[in-house]
Amino acid sequence: MLVCCKCRREMLCDKNLVGADFGHGHVYPADRFKCPDCGWCVLKTNPAPIHDPNHTSQEEYLTMSEYKQ
């Protein structure tokens, strides 16, 4: 279960087959969850990435940003 920290409500799955794209074909398949109150969304990814350079295995892809400290 995923819980929204802001609303303290269980988040509900609103889309399957979302790819978290880290570039160069490095994609983590995921499901997107959304808070029913505030609308905040998160991705729950699979633990292992797949090689998907042509973006053909998922319905939607999110390009991930580089982590900056």
Nearest by Cα to 44 from 34, 54, 58: 34
Residue 9 pLDDT > 80: yes
Report the pLDDT value the prediction gives residue 67, as an integer from 0 to 100: 74
CA dist 61 and 2 (Å) reads 21
Tokens 């029913």 belong to which residue?
A: 36
Does residue 7 sit within a domain?
no
Residue 68 pLDDT > 80: no
Beta-carbon neighbour count of residue 5 at 10 Å? Answer: 7
The number of folded domains in the chain is 1
Report the pLDDT value the prediction gives residue 15, as an integer from 0 to 100: 98
Does residue 4 sit within a domain?
no
Instruction: Give the pLDDT mean for 53-68.
Output: 92
Does residue 1 sit within a domain?
no
Does residue 6 sit within a domain?
no
- Worst-scoring range by mean pLDDT, 17-21, 37-41, 64-68? 64-68
Does residue 28 sit within a domain?
yes
Q: Which domain holds residue 16?
A: 12-63
Does residue 41 sit within a domain?
yes
